[in-house]
Amino acid sequence: MPVHRPGSIPTRAATAAAALLLAALSPAVPAHAADVPARGSAHMGIGVLGHDGSDGSPVTGDATQTEGVDVSGYQGNVAWSTLWSSGVKWAYTKATEGTYYTNPYFAQQYNGSYNVGMIRGAYHFATPDTTSGATQANYFVDHGGGWSKDGRTLPGALDIEWNPYGAACYGKTTGAMVSWIADFLNTYKARTGRDAVIYTATSWWTQCTGDYGGFASANPLWIARYASEVGTLPSGWPYYTMWQYTSSGPTVGDHDKFNGALDRVVALANG
């Protein structure tokens, strides 16, 4: 009869039993948990590749369009002089997210773009499941999202797109989402005197607002689509003002085109 001695190799049955016991005692972790980014790390276009994919690049050298970039804390300190030399003339910097995050690189990015000669603006990453639109608009204005008529400052932008932390539409019905966006936009205008830019993707807008067209008359559209053509726009907007066309550009990944020459960028800054 086999005799178990101290230090001998455990039987297969004993090993399996130990593994089952360890699994029972370990906390359950959802399979997708490792894919959820940390709160505050979202940025313009975080959901575009995953939901809409990429299909080519636009034709370069169009004299009626003006090159721009958008940046967030992810980029850290940005080489603004390099971007300026490459032809980039305007930039947006992430200022805030929800009411719990401010970009630690905001000053270097927002002021740095201005100091090399660019026309600059700030954007807010919306989290409609955390606080009201008005609350987030006030947080945005209080933390870098304001506006001044200096010819070099663009109106603030509302980044409203797929929820990187959970359900795509933040658990809201299309009607509730439209109300949240209106709450943000109305508060922003009351605080700054400007109509905010809306950054979104057509597929998200259709899914989460029911393709609502009521903001098109006042709020400039910044469309996200990584392709050779901008494609179908959300309802109500006959044209786009800005187009984020790639997340893999030189120097800084997120590159954009303004639908007009530089004088039209200045016109938007002046209101």
Q: Are 83 and 250 in contact (CB under 8 A)?
A: no
CA distances from 45 to 55, 164, 270 (A): 15, 10, 26
From the list 52, 67, 97, 159, the catalytic residue is 159
Report the DSSP pairing between strands 119-125 and 157-159: parallel
SS3 133: helix
Residue in the block written with tokens 């630690």: 104
Q: Is 159 a catalytic residue?
A: yes
Helix and strand numbers (H, E) in the chain are: 8, 11
Q: Point out the catalytic residue in the list 52, 161, 195, 256.
A: 161
Q: Does the active-site annotation cover 70?
A: yes
The set of residues, in sequence order, having a beta carbon less than 8 Å from that of 223 and lying 6+ positions away, is: 199, 200, 201, 202, 230, 233, 234, 240, 242, 243, 244
Choosing from 67, 70, 195, 256, the catalytic residue is 70
Task: Tokens 């593994």: give the residue.
Answer: 19
Annotated active-site residue 129? The verdict is no
* Token output for 244: 């984020």
- Closest listed residue to residue 259, CA positions, set 69, 59, 62, 118: 62
Beta strands in 142-204 (DSSP E): 157-159, 197-200
Which residues are the active-site residues? 70, 159, 161
